[in-house]
Structure 1
Amino acid sequence: MVIEACRQANAVGFINKFPKKYDTEVGTHGVKLSGGQKQRIAIARSIIADPKILILDEATSANALEKISKGRTTILIAHRLSTIGNADNIIVLDSGNVVEFGTRQELLSHPEGTYKKLIEAQSLLLDKDSNLSNDAIVAGKKIYFILRTLINLIIGTCVPVGSIFFALIMSTFTYIGDLNAFVQQGYYWSTAYMILAVIVGVCRWLMTWMFHIISAKAGNRYRQEYFNNIVRQRISFFDKKGNTPGSLTSQTSHDPVVIQDLLGVTIGLSIMSVITLLGSCILSLIFGWKLAIVCICSVVPLLIISGYLRVKIEMGFVKDNMMIFGDSAAFATEAVGAYRTVSSLVMEEDIRCRYADLLSSHVKQILKRTLYSSLLFSTSESLTILATALCFWYGGILMAQGEYKMFQFFIVYMTVIQGSEAAGNFFGLTPNVATAIRCIRRMIKLRDNHPNSGNKMDEDSASGYEIQFEDISFKYPERGELLYEGLNLRIEKGQYAAIVGTSGCGKSTLIGILERFYDVDTGKVLINGKDIKSFDIERYRNSISLVAQEPILYQVGTLLYNIKLGTSDDKDDSARPIFIISYLPCLKVIIQYGIGLSGGQKQRIAIARALIRNPKLLLLDEATASLDTESEKMVQKAFENAAEGRTMVVVAHRLSTIQKADVIFVLDEGKIVEQGDHASLVAKRGIYWQMVSISTPRRLTYLCGTIPEY
């Protein structure tokens, strides 16, 4: 069934070229597929359930449409009129009203009809009206560091001091015979404990307050650095399986909070526990070294070993935990982002079950690790009681032999017990420490992965950039097969160049290489005669603009904000040529991802955003694919004006948009097989001519009176 659906959608050909065929991973939002390939997969998905009614919104694979529409009611919304030539009924809308309807022949029979005017505007072989247009990881100031260290020392010392007080009380109460003296001693030691309690209380309050201040400031800086490191990664970083938007969003929210907790309560308690353990061991050795050595050497090493093993187990658990929950977060993000697709295919229950399976599989994997970790935790907790038993047993022997007095015994007993509890508390924090260490390593890895800076761009680029690909080879990092092998291409300064070819042949990848989203494996890409890798990547990208196939608008601001992204220029001159000023006052705020705007409106805003930067190199990846004929004319006019003084590189499926290109490159199987202007390539009757013929049905063009019937 799957293969048949793909065959009807004309997807079998490119699927079989992948090494894993139908098991090939497409990446988040299909990032590893071209626009045409994603379109065919979407068509196959829509017909696999054999629907009675099929609704297609701008599905532009004409051959596939003819196959899948048989035997079912098909409603198609189209800007590209060549895809609806065989429709049984064509309904033409204008300003919200139906102005014409009928078959293609009936509509073309009206000389002044709206549909015929649209056809003439999109005719490929007409010569007119076809123009293309700082270090953030700072825990706190020195004063905070000194104060918190001093406070931790005081708190850690208070515990051994409390042990001395307890030993003195027990000795005093044992030997006092006078009742009044007994009461006086009670007042005295209760006052001493009250003073000690006040000191510990004040110090703990100061420690908590300072650690919260430090962790809040550091957490904010960590969060900023984390996000900054992510957005500065190479595009190949986001192609990796574990770096989906959902996973990265989850990490951006989770990791800085974990590190903030480490710098706050966790590190404070850890330091206090270590100081308490060291102070207790030293004090017990001073007052009763025999008993202290037996208790310390029998208990503390076991505590350290069990704590270390628990840290190792927790580190492995945290790694698996992050990976599993990263996958589930990525799946949830993708499902929510594609809610229209989920709803239209009635997949809500399937999505819920798949999400539950992801989470339940994680539970099964961690049961064994949890068993070992729990065993070590219970061991470390029970060692405190073991220390008590050992202390009473050997201490009793030493006291019976007259080697120790009661005062010495109680000091060693209290210090050993409190030291053991401190060690247990310290290793009880291992899950937090293990998680924080994993987050810190991930943050350091992100920081070390920035693209290197390079030289400044040439100032003498008034007429755009000269571009040259010299014998380049390239494959995507996550794929094995070569996309280009020995590709050569040259674009002169100020030229308007177009790149065409079959779906999936690598047209958009060339745009990605020019944007330095990817670097070639072998060969060179030269800009004005210099290797593109030698330029500072930020300065280089500031001098170019890209209008992608799928424009993204941000909900954080207005339309004007979305147009001015990446520039501080207050002018709106670039918005005027593409006629979006007329509806700018009406739409003040962008809904999420531009919902509420038509595809054409979003595309025109993206184009305005590209032009306002006044780029030396303008890259257009199917920039007019979502535009209707009227909008396309406006955009073409804008591009015609914008082409002056810059180099323009266009990737196009809709060949009507590139007739006036200075040079057209035909890409096939990783190499340039034809190049020239529109007229010369049509005259050759090669691959480009075949693409033109397929794009424009001859009979349709004949009825328009543009070319004779062959």
Structure 2
Amino acid sequence: MVEKHAGTQHEPDQYADAVAKLEESEVTADRPGAFKDFVRIFDYADKLSWVLNVLSLVTSIAAGVVLPLMTIIFGNAVGEFNKFSAGDTDAATFQHLILDYVLWYIYLFVAKLVLSYISTLSICIAAIRTTRSLRQAFLDSLLRKEIWHFDSKDPSSVAVLVTTNGARINKGIADKFAFLIQYVAMFFAAFVVALVRQWKLTLITMSIIPGIMVIISICVPIEAAIESRVMRMYSQGGSIAQEAISTIKNIHAFWAQGKMVEKYDNLLQQAHTEGEKKSILYGILFSTEYFFVFSGVALSFWKGYRMFANGEIDGIGPVFTVVFSALIAASTITAIAPQFQTFANAAAAASEIFTLMDETSKLDPLSEDGLKPSTCDGEIEIKDLSFSYPSRRSIKVLKGLNLKIPAGKTTALVGASGCGKSTLVGLLERWYERESGAIELDGVDITRCNTKWLRSQIGLVQQEPVLFQGTVFQNVANGFTDSQKRLSDKEQLILVQQACETSYAHDFVSELPNGYDTEVGEAAGLLSGGQRQRIAIARSIVSNPRILLLDEATSALDPNAEGMVQRALDQVSVNRTTLVIAHKLATVRNADNIAVISDGKVVEQGTHFNLLQSEGHYAKLVAAQNIEEQSDKYDQVSDVMDGDAEKDLIRHASLYKTATGEFDPSAANIKTGTLGYSLIRCIFLMFLEQKSLYTYFLISTIGCLIAGATFPAQALIFSRIFEVFTLPPDQGQPKADFYALMFFVIALGNLVAYMIIGITCNIIGQEVTHRYRKELFTNMLRQDMDFFNLPGNTSGALTSRLSSMPTQLQDLISANILLIFVIFISVTSTSVLALAYGWKLGLVVVFGGLPPLILSGYIRIRLETTLEAKNSERFAEGANLANEAVMAIKTVASLTLESTVLQRYQNLMSGIVRNSIQSLLWTIFWYALSQSLEFLVMALGFWYGSKLLSEGEYTSSQFYIIFLGTLFAGQSAAMFFSYSTSITQAVEAANYILWLRTCKPVMQENDENRSKGPVTDGGEIALASMSFKYPRRENRVLRDISMRIEPDQFVAFVGPSGCGKSTIVSLLERFYDPTSGQIIYAGNSISSYSPRLYRQNISLVQQEPTLYSGSIRENVTLGVEGEATEEQILDACKQANALEFIDSLPEGLSTACGNRGLQFSGGQKQRIAIARALIRKPRLLLLDEATSALDTQSERIVQSALDKAKEGRTTIAVAHRLSTIVHADVIFVFGDGRVVEQGTHHELLTKKGRYYDMVLAQSLNKDV
């Protein structure tokens, strides 16, 4: 039955609306992080998280009230001290009363310990759970987006958003938020206590609050807006980094590290300039808050003494309760001020995530809307179909295309690159929506069908198969339907094995060390191309789809692998509607119908033989691809396979088989990730590097000294004020006025000090994060390939570290380190003051109280360091999963894997939550202990001080100076450990940055080789007894290879996948050095040359063309030192047969390529890549399947250009398509890591060996 709303699900006009929305989103992305974004984060808290948040709120408020309650005890105790000093109380009674107050301090200690533990633990658990839900919702939102959404946005930035933004949000709603609540509660509780004690004096003192609120309300929103813009720039920079790191071989080949760093640094400089605008804001925010608070203290004393003199206050106790409440408020402001940056960062991070989440998706792949027919025959009819890509609306790709694809038959699409063949696949999969016309499945417009149902009826095999990290079984099982996912493990394994048997994958999978449980590695790098493709075929048919789409499924394979895969495809196509897109026409000769597409229309169709007889477009394509007339049929030779090579591939495929426990000493260091340096050592080393900032450090030191001196100054003034209240009003009034004035002087000093600290800390912080982001990126790009092959160094993980670690280091070296310095000065100065005024009491309270407090904080930092390192590793794994899914969004969509990916991500996040909570239980105890020990220190001071006072050893003035000095020192030390989370993260970041410097690449430019490069224009290349195995792998890929390549020769390497052809290209590029033997170029070992000067002589064109975000011009000139002229660029494009299609683009060479060149077809991307290679005018040209992605027409033209380009230079081509190397001077045939044949094309045919068999496998028709 057809649902009433089914026909209105996604109409073409909605597609245009979606594109408009996409363009509007670029504007909305500029919005700053607002308070509403911060509040919205809590929408993702579940019931338990809300309970924990409420529990934390209540206990945080209670914990905040504890310290203000101390002022009541202190005020009463001061009264007893005054009575004893005046002789109104005897010594025994005095000590008994003080013991009662000591007990109250112990009660406060227990209360603060328990309440701080519960509040911090609760909110940290709630924050982890909430952030987990938000991360999952964000990924869910991304996977629900239309595919065209990612054409204009860089999917590689997802790793940055999921990790960095998630971490910033977590930081803003976890313990920092509990601190804020606690300090706010403390702030108001202090005034409530004061109001109860003396309401009139308190109200006068509270006049400072409006001033503080006005400053905060003005500065914080402005800061949040700036931070939002800075984060967006960092996100763009993260995308650049992701592009470069994920294509590191290409970056090294063209020695483009410098250009990528420069491109990255341009964004960093913009962020730096924008970020420095916050300097004056921080200066105003910090300084005015301190100024208002200490002005309030001055006002309290000034007015308080007058009220005392007038009889409105009956003693010193109420005045000191009010004053100390004001001082507590001052300490809370000290703690609150730096937190606003954390909350602004969290709001900005949330804003960026919510901006993407709020973009409406017109095509939701997880929606239940639309038709879900019970059967599908697979009859497809395309009617008058027109289409242009959303990012290039002015260019029509399809122009009224009409085509019938009969059910159960094989239909092939052939034609020039960019003619619209693959576009049709995207429209059938509903990655894109047509502009006009219709695509009908069994007579029903596919826009009326449920998207998930439609895609589940289609099996897709692409040119570049995407497998995901996991086992072979998991990758094939990714093709399961929902009903198949509910089967037992045994039944699922049977289905997977059957699919692999059908796709000819079962045999090689069974021989893997762990069979179907063998890990395939990142990007399935442990399998050959043919093996990956066969697993992809198994995945596409395991659900038994009615329709099979084969988009260049064999074009990237060698002849032997191609033969194996083609047999698999022929078998799985039986009784299925199969649509084949092919450049290799040998793969479609048996199709029931072949449609030739040109200029967006079907210009010719029929069977292979009918089209040959008509001598039209198709006949010309066939003639161009036929290598040589042969009498043997294709079917008789397609079974040829290099058995030894296949077995060798199997040995190489296992992650466990290739890993070895014995490492090269020079490589061992690249696995540690840290130097294990302490906080002090990290700070010292980082400080030594900031010579350009020494002036700012000096200025900030002056501010820190002034701010730190505030604490002992307070102790001294307080002790003098005690005496004032024992004097007659006529004597006491002038002194009271003077000491009130001194507090106002302190207020002015803090105004200056924190203005200096606020301005300089941001200047320092922006410079530090800029410097270390650039350094970290530079040091990553300079590493050898072995560094990037390590499991923890995936592109997602490295980009995540690049994004987060410099920010963590910024926190350490700027605001936090300056505030920590202030705390250090206050602890030191007040401790010295206490010892100077009374060594007995000073020794007891300083050395009896502070060491346990510091020890508890130190233990907490050590525990947090371990927790932070583990969490970084766990979240990096989550980032990899999210990044992998979004980077392969088309594969995820075609397999309807959205729910599976989300479930895997959810399971991973749940594991992180569980492990983090277990670690937090113990870590937070030590934090709570460090926050509450100050009450024990005060209890100890009161007890021993009263004893000394009652015995006549100390005066009350001495006691007050020592006690208050110790009180301030204890509070400062406790405040220090509130910064420990930032310190922990920063120490880890500093260690990683310093460690990465110690990872010295083998292939680097140094003083010894800096000026040494090949000196001839066309040097001979010699491989002398060369063997090679990849680092940390047992099996050799190349075995005792010796060959000589003369200058200006055109040489070809052919052979089955995994035989070592591309490995030799990697060795010639010096991505690796041989395990034994050497490579000689121009008379010297290439290891003796500067890699930069050596690679200037080489250009590489790889099988999978790599383009970067930026214009065509920027991509073509990527490997050119200095500036290339317009004439050079145009000439290179012309040679590569790219100029014609570039000129047809509205912006020509200035056309943006988009992420990974998504704006262009495979053939167009490859021609741009060839132009990039030719503009360097290389002496050695390496072509690693350079034309495999091109259609026949483009291949012929480009091959002609390459034939011309090889004149005057040596050319080495790795080829599967043998038509491209027929005219090579020498063809080396590889097998099992050795050269098994060599000679010219005709010489090798005469031998009738392996090369002969490969040629037979690629011959189209003996009659052509």
- The match for 2:839 among 289, 299, 308 is 289
Q: Which residue identity does 1:320 align to in structure 2?
A: K
Aligned Cα RMSD in Å?
2.0
- The match for 2:587 among 78, 83, 88 is 83
Structure 2 distance, partners of 1:156, 1:86, is 86
- The match for 2:618 among 115, 123, 127 is 115
In structure 2, what is the equivalent of residue 67 of structure 1?
571
In structure 2, what is the equivalent of residue 552 of structure 1?
1106
In structure 1, what is the equivalent of residue 1233 of structure 2?
670
The aligned length equals 689
Q: Does 1:461 align with 2:1016?
A: yes
How is 1:242-257 mapped onto 2 (pairs within 5 angstroms)?
242-257=792-807
Q: Which residue identity does 1:609 align to in structure 2?
A: R
Return 5+ residue gaps in structure 2 as ranges: 1-494, 555-561, 631-685, 1146-1150
Structure 1 distance, partners of 2:509, 2:1038, is 18
- The match for 1:569 among 1124, 1130, 1138 is 1124
**Cα distance 1:611–1:654, how it changes in 2: closer, same or farther (>3 A)?**
same
Q: Deviations over 1:149-175 (max 9, x none)?
A: 2222222122111111111111332x3
How far residue 675 of structure 1 moved from its aligned partner, in angstroms, is: 1.0
How far residue 20 of structure 1 moved from its aligned partner, in angstroms, is: 4.2
Q: For residue 76 of structure 1, give the secondary structure of its aligned residue in structure 2.
A: strand
Q: Does 1:605 align with 2:1109?
A: no
In structure 2, what is the equivalent of residue 369 of structure 1?
919
Q: Which residue identity does 2:1074 align to in structure 1?
A: V
2:1117·2:1172 contact (CA, 8 Å) conserved in 1? yes
Q: Does 1:163 align with 2:715?
A: yes
In structure 1, what is the equivalent of residue 600 of structure 2?
96
How is 1:308-387 mapped onto 2 (pairs within 5 angstroms)?
308-387=858-937
- The match for 1:686 among 1230, 1246, 1249 is 1249
Q: For residue 1262 of structure 2, give the secondary structure of its aligned residue in structure 1.
A: helix
Q: Deviations over 1:110-136 (max 9, x none)?
A: 3x2222221111111279xxxxxxx99
1:285·1:292 contact (CA, 8 Å) conserved in 2? yes
Question: What is the TM-score normalised by the length of structure 1?
Answer: 0.93
- The match for 2:530 among 36, 43, 46 is 36
**Cα distance 1:590–1:5, how it changes in 2: closer, same or farther (>3 A)?**
same
In structure 2, what is the equivalent of residue 536 of structure 1?
1090
Q: Does 1:702 align with 2:1262?
A: yes
Q: Deviations over 1:587-618 (max 9, x none)?
A: 32222211131111111111011001111111
In structure 2, what is the equivalent of residue 616 of structure 1?
1179
Q: Deviations over 1:234-254 (max 9, x none)?
A: 122222111111112211111
Flag the structure with higher helix content: 2
In structure 1, what is the equivalent of residue 204 of structure 2?
none
Q: For residue 141 of structure 1, give the secondary structure of its aligned residue in structure 2.
A: helix
1:171·1:406 contact (CA, 8 Å) conserved in 2? no
Structure 2 distance, partners of 1:425, 1:447, is 34
Q: For residue 490 of structure 1, give the secondary structure of its aligned residue in structure 2.
A: strand
How is 1:183-332 mapped onto 2 (pairs within 5 angstroms)?
183-332=733-882
How far residue 381 of structure 1 moved from its aligned partner, in angstroms, is: 0.9
**Cα distance 1:665–1:10, how it changes in 2: closer, same or farther (>3 A)?**
farther
**Cα distance 1:140–1:460, how it changes in 2: closer, same or farther (>3 A)?**
closer
**Cα distance 1:8–1:578, how it changes in 2: closer, same or farther (>3 A)?**
same
Q: Deviations over 1:33-67 (max 9, x none)?
A: 44433333322221222211011111014232212
Q: For residue 109 of structure 1, give the secondary structure of its aligned residue in structure 2.
A: helix
Q: Which residue identity does 1:158 align to in structure 2?
A: T
How far residue 501 of structure 1 moved from its aligned partner, in angstroms, is: 0.9
- The match for 2:1200 among 637, 641, 650 is 637
Q: Which residue identity does 1:670 align to in structure 2?
A: G
Q: For residue 602 of structure 2, give the secondary structure of its aligned residue in structure 1.
A: strand
Return 5+ residue gaps in structure 1 as ranges: 128-134, 705-710
How is 1:384-399 mapped onto 2 (pairs within 5 angstroms)?
384-399=934-949
Structure 2 distance, partners of 1:422, 1:63, is 76
In structure 1, what is the equivalent of residue 706 of structure 2?
154
2:724·2:736 contact (CA, 8 Å) conserved in 1? no
Q: Which residue identity does 1:461 align to in structure 2?
A: T
- The match for 1:649 among 1190, 1196, 1212 is 1212
How far residue 282 of structure 1 moved from its aligned partner, in angstroms, is: 0.8
Structure 2 distance, partners of 1:515, 1:3, is 40
Structure 2 distance, partners of 1:427, 1:678, is 75
**Cα distance 1:482–1:20, how it changes in 2: closer, same or farther (>3 A)?**
farther
Q: For residue 613 of structure 1, give the secondary structure of its aligned residue in structure 2.
A: coil
Structure 1 distance, partners of 2:1166, 2:508, is 28
Q: Does 1:11 align with 2:561?
A: no
- The match for 1:125 among 619, 628, 631 is 628
Structure 1 distance, partners of 2:718, 2:515, is 76
Q: Does 1:55 align with 2:549?
A: yes
1:314·1:431 contact (CA, 8 Å) conserved in 2? yes
**Cα distance 1:528–1:221, how it changes in 2: closer, same or farther (>3 A)?**
same
Q: Does 1:578 align with 2:1136?
A: yes
Structure 2 distance, partners of 1:358, 1:472, is 44
Q: Which residue identity does 1:80 align to in structure 2?
A: K
How far residue 362 of structure 1 moved from its aligned partner, in angstroms, is: 0.9
Q: Deviations over 1:543-592 (max 9, x none)?
A: 21111111121222x22221111213211212112322112233322222
Report which stretch shifted further, 601-610 or 14-23: 14-23
Q: Which residue identity does 1:72 align to in structure 2?
A: R
How far residue 182 of structure 1 moved from its aligned partner, in angstroms, is: 2.7
1:139·1:218 contact (CA, 8 Å) conserved in 2? no
2:853·2:934 contact (CA, 8 Å) conserved in 1? no
Structure 2 distance, partners of 1:24, 1:527, is 40
In structure 1, what is the equivalent of residue 673 of structure 2?
none
In structure 2, what is the equivalent of residue 131 of structure 1?
none
Structure 2 distance, partners of 1:682, 1:13, is 31
Question: What is the TM-score normalised by the length of structure 2?
Answer: 0.53
Q: Does 1:518 align with 2:1021?
A: no
**Cα distance 1:598–1:159, how it changes in 2: closer, same or farther (>3 A)?**
same
1:159·1:418 contact (CA, 8 Å) conserved in 2? yes
Q: Which residue identity does 2:1096 align to in structure 1?
A: N
Structure 2 distance, partners of 1:507, 1:3, is 31
1:137·1:221 contact (CA, 8 Å) conserved in 2? no
